[in-house]
Amino acid sequence: MLILLAFGAFLRVADAGPMDDPLVSLFGTTCFAQYTNLDGLRSNLQRDKFQELNGTAAKPFLGPGTGRVWISSFQGSQYAIAVRDDGVCAVFAQQALVERVRKRFVETFSTTSLPFESKEVPMRSPNSMTHTIAYGWAQPTASTQLLFTLTTVDDPSAGIQAMLSMARIKR
């Protein structure tokens, strides 16, 4: 139920302005829209013949977890969609307009509608080249929250310039 209510809140935020960033848009139509049915997302990506990465090629997108990764060309750029077995879902952008991605992420996830509250979650970036912003969405008395995280790199020659993820975590 938490996810369904959050999706409605996301749609209201998205309706406030155009989804003018491809990363946020792709994230919205994959991870966010299908978070309650990640098996369905996996099936859709396979059915639609997205190229799947395996083994060592998939590992950078899965981090310490296990799962599956697909490559997508979307609005002229390359993306990876990672669906981990522990419920983390992420979209990675090879290239991104970093300031636009950050602005759109904050616009989209820093606010939500009742019964949810949105709170910035302090995060440390793994190094001085990356920037991380996170927001948690939860009902005031809930023991879990949806965590939305954006990590970006300003350098366009980085292999991955932006990553947007979501996961359900304990508060």
pLDDT tens track for 145-156:
999 999 999 998
What is the reported pLDDT for 59?
96
Q: Range of 99's domain?
A: 2-170
What is the reported pLDDT for 75?
79
How many folded domains does the chain comprise?
A: 1
DSSP-assigned beta bridge partners for residue 91: 81, 164
What is the reported pLDDT for 99?
95
DSSP-assigned beta bridge partners for residue 168: 146
What is the reported pLDDT for 13?
46
**Bridge-based pairing state of the strands 89-93 and 117-120:** unpaired
Residue reference for tokens 């996961």: 167
CB-based contact 95:82 (threshold 8 Å): no
Mean pLDDT, 10 residues at a time, over the chain (171 residues)? 50 52 93 95 94 95 96 89 97 95 95 93 88 96 96 93 96 88
Q: What are the C-alpha distances in Å from 51 to residues 27, 38, 76, 136, 149?
A: 17, 17, 16, 31, 25
What is the reported pLDDT for 18?
44
CB-based contact 93:99 (threshold 8 Å): no
What is the reported pLDDT for 8?
53
What is the reported pLDDT for 77?
87
- Give pLDDT tens digits for 98-117: 999 999 999 999 999 889 99
Q: What are the C-alpha distances in Å from 8 to residues 20, 32, 98, 115, 121?
A: 19, 11, 26, 11, 22
- DSSP-derived secondary structure letter, 37: G
DSSP-assigned beta bridge partners for residue 130: 153
What is the reported pLDDT for 19?
55
